[in-house]
Amino acid sequence: MVEPSVDEAKFAQAQRVVKVAALRGSPLDDDSCSSCLYFLEPGNEFAFCWHEKLQVLVGANWWCHFWEMTED
């Protein structure tokens, strides 16, 4: 069996993004990714966050520094 290779540069970049965004695996107060403007598919357990500085798959119950209220 061949061990998978890890791209250390991409891993380090991903770690920086998580740190800058203060990405958390739990909501902050009543704010969570599922109620964020940038959560691509509201109603799903996981969806893509399309904020220009994050752009990753996130959980509906997660939260980050870039959270923004959805437009009504």
Per residue in 2-59, pLDDT (tens digit) is: 888 989 999 998 888 888 899 899 999 989 999 999 999 999 999 999 999 888 899 9
- Model confidence, pTM: 0.77
Where along the chain do its domains lie? Answer: 28-67
Half-sphere exposure of 53 (CA within 13 A, CB side): 13
Distance (Å, whole) CA 14 – CA 54 = 9
Q: What is the DSSP letter of 70?
A: P
What is the Cα–Cα distance from 17 to 20, expressed in whole angstroms?
A: 5
pLDDT at 72 over 80: no
Residue 4 or residue 60, greater confidence: 60
Three-class DSSP category at 62: coil
Q: Is 56 exposed, middle or buried (0-12, 13-18, 19+ CB in 10 A)?
A: middle
